[in-house]
């Protein structure tokens, strides 16, 4: 065995689809050849002062590295062919196994055995699965995730949900909320939203009596014709100068206002007064 023979075997293997015939001890011969090259390199390195610069040592190292790469490439190519033959043999197809090395023959037999065993397991599972499907209960009961989700929805609908406590995050949030309708408007909105929700005890949650003070925007929300007609001319408006950034608010006149510091704007009184009370604006008239 030498490097030229190894390269010739590799070239032949690349040029054919079937396995070329190799002796049983082929890989053992390759291993013995590489071991002999390494031994000679070590002997040469021990006999010279500077083995790293010695030409003979470098040549032997290159030969060893090349032989290892060629042998690995050859093995990988032949293993692919062995796997293909094993799959055919497991399917009871005729295959040619002559020319395999001892290692390749062991791999072939192991693969055929594993493929046949796996095939039997799969067919057994498939057969058992069909029996289970036929014996499945037909009462319509289902304890799966979908059923649990429906139960949770029913429990939620029956028990109701407690109203979330309103906690202002900052002064700016209070200013923005007050400017968009004031504290009384928020209370009325909360009461209206929770009026139909069931109380945790089972009955409707008591609500406060509606305020005698009319909601400036109630007529607009309840009457489409009034919404199309726009705000009433008699609505009180106030001109103010914004003293700090407030952000966007929705006025009782159903208009959006983007309020920033030093802006001069005319707002509905119901929106302007809370801003003045919070020192977020100052009146100009």
Span 65-75, average pLDDT? 96
pLDDT at position 132, please? Answer: 47
Q: Which tens digit of pLDDT belongs to each residue from 244-263?
A: 888 888 888 888 888 988 88
Note the pLDDT tens digit of each residue in 96-109.
888 899 999 999 99
Strand partners, 259: 247
Q: How many helices (H) and strands (E) does the chain have?
A: 10, 5
- In the chain, the percentage of residues whose pLDDT exceeds 70 is 62
Count of C-beta atoms within a 10 Å radius of residue 271? 27
Between 162 and 71, the higher pLDDT residue? 71
Phi/psi of residue 191, each to 5°?
Answer: -65, -40
2-51 pLDDT, tens digit per residue, is 999 999 999 999 999 999 999 999 999 999 999 999 999 999 999 999 99
Residue 285: band (very low, low, confident or very high) from pLDDT cuts 50, 70, 90: low
Residues forming beta bridges with residue 239, ordered by sequence position: 266
For 80, 90, 147, 163, the CA distances from 111, given in Å and listed in that order, are 12, 9, 45, 67
Say whether pLDDT at 271 is over 70: yes
d(CA 135, CA 132): 5
pLDDT 10s digits, 139-185: 544 554 444 554 555 555 444 444 444 444 455 556 556 666 554 45
Whole-model pTM: value is 0.44
Query: Which has more confidence, 164 or 123?
Result: 123
pLDDT band for position 223 (cuts 50, 70, 90)? very low
Q: Please provide residue 15's backbone torsions phi and psi, each rounded to the nearest 5 degrees.
A: -90, 5
Structural domains of the chain ordered from first start: 3-131 (1.20.58.1030), 223-285 (3.40.5.50)
Strand 256-259 with 264-268, pairing: unpaired
What does the pLDDT read at residue 1? 87
Residue 253 and residue 269: Cα distance in Å, rounded?
10
Residue 264 near residue 243 (C-beta atoms within 8 A): no
Q: If we measure between CA atoms, which residue out of 272, 271, 277, 280 comes closest to residue 244?
A: 280
Bridge partners of 283?
A: 240
Per DSSP, the three-state class of 52 is helix
CA distance 104 to 27: 10
Residues in CB range of 262: below 8 A, 6 or more apart? 241, 242, 243
The alpha carbon dihedral of 61, 66, 67, 68 has a sign of: positive
């Amino acid at each position: 065995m030498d490097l030229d023979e190894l390269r010739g075997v590799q070239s032949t293997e690349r040029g054919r689809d079937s396995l070329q015939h190799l002796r049983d001890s082929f890989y053992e011969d390759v291993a013995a050849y590489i071991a002999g090259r390494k031994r000679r390199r070590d002997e040469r390195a021990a006999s010279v002062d500077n083995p790293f610069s010695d030409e003979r040592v470098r040549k032997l190292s290159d030969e060893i590295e090349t032989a290892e790469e060629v042998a690995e490439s050859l093995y990988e190519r032949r293993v692919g062919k062995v796997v293909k033959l094993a799959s055919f043999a497991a399917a009871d197809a005729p295959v040619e196994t002559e020319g395999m090395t001892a290692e390749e023959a062991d791999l072939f037999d192991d693969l055929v055995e594993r493929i046949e065993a796996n095939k039997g397991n799969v067919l057994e599972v498939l057969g058992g699965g069909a029996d289970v499907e036929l014996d499945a209960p037909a009462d319509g009961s289902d304890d799966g995730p979908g059923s649990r989700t429906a139960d949770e929805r029913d429990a939620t609908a029956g028990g109701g949900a407690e109203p979330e406590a309103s906690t202002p995050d900052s002064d700016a949030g209070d200013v923005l909320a007050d400017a968009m309708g004031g504290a009384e408007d928020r209370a009325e909105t909360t009461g209206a939203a929770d009026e139909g929700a069931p109380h945790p005890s089972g009955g409707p949650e008591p609500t406060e009596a509606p305020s005698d003070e009319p909601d400036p925007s109630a007529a607009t929300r309840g009457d489409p014709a009034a919404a199309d007609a726009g705000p009433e001319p008699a609505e009180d408006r106030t001109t103010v100068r914004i003293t700090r950034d407030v952000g966007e608010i929705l006025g009782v006149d159903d208009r959006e206002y983007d309020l920033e510091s030093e802006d001069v704007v005319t707002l509905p009184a119901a929106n302007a007064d809370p801003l003045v009370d919070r020192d977020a604006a100052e009146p100009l008239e």
